[in-house]
Structure formats: C-alpha cells, structure tokens
Amino acid sequence: MMKITRTQPIGAQEILDRFATTRLRGYGQPLIYERARLELVRQVDPKTLFPAQRYVLKEDHHAVLELHEAFQKQGIDAFNMEGGMLFWKAGEEGPIPFMPPIVEMSREPDGRTIPLINDGMHRIFTAMKLNRPVTIILAHGVPTEY
C-alpha cells in the first residue's frame, strides 16, 4: 500500500503557465501550446472524452487506483482537483508531479472537432470505471501539424 508523506498544491494558473511552455518531443521541440488557449475544466464526465489509443495497461490502471486511495486518505480527490500537486511517497525521493490530464480539441479528418485525450488516459479510464468526474486541462487551437 502506497503512503503519501507530504503534498503541495499547485494553483490552476501556475499549471496553465507551465503547460504553455511544454515542448513537443521531436519536430524540433516546438512549444506545442504556446499559441493554444488552455483552460482548467472541472467536473468533466470522462465518457465524453475520446481516447487517442484503444488500450489501457492493467498495471497503470492499478497504479492510478492505488494513488487514488492514498490521496483519499489525505482528503484529496485525485480525479477532481482544483489544480495540480506535488507529492512525496514514503521511502522515495520527491517531489512527484501530479497534473490534470491533457485533452486537446482535435480536428478530425471527417471535419469534426473532438476532445481527444492526449495525456492521462489511465486516470480518465479509472475515473470512468469509478463513475467519477475529472478535472482536465483543455487545449484549444493546438497547431494541426502536430
């Protein structure tokens, strides 16, 4: 059983500022969200989001469940936070960042725009299985070439 020894919240604006400086791996490492509009959206039904992949790793799902239970003992809702968090686990160096999943409004080949899960698939899958809403970072206007 995981034991969290310390937590440090990170506010919504600081998270959005951090993600605005995120570099894409490859492609010359551009600032992928530099011109995008980023917003923190709470109470999102995970069933309304589209996965970028069609699989979930069982080990990662179980790790999210364990983290959820450890956060619950601290009085923290791992799925619906007001921002992000740094946390420390017993017996390990920290901090470990814990940020909301990233969802991009993606223009699909058929012309539709859908909320595509870019990062955090296992947390969103676990929230869906537990019938829990999630907090996400929603990105609008991500360059289509990436």
pTM of the shown model: 0.89
Q: How many CB atoms lie within 10 A of CB 62?
A: 12
DSSP lists the bridge partners of residue 44 as 134
**Which amino acid type is present at position 111?**
G
Task: From first to last of the 146 residues of the chain, give the pLDDT tens digit.
Answer: 789 999 999 999 999 998 888 887 767 778 888 889 999 999 999 999 999 888 888 898 899 999 999 999 989 999 999 899 999 998 888 899 999 999 999 988 898 999 999 999 999 999 999 999 999 999 999 887 76
pLDDT at 72: 92
Q: What is the Cβ-side half-sphere exposure of residue 65, based on CA atoms within 13 angstroms?
A: 11
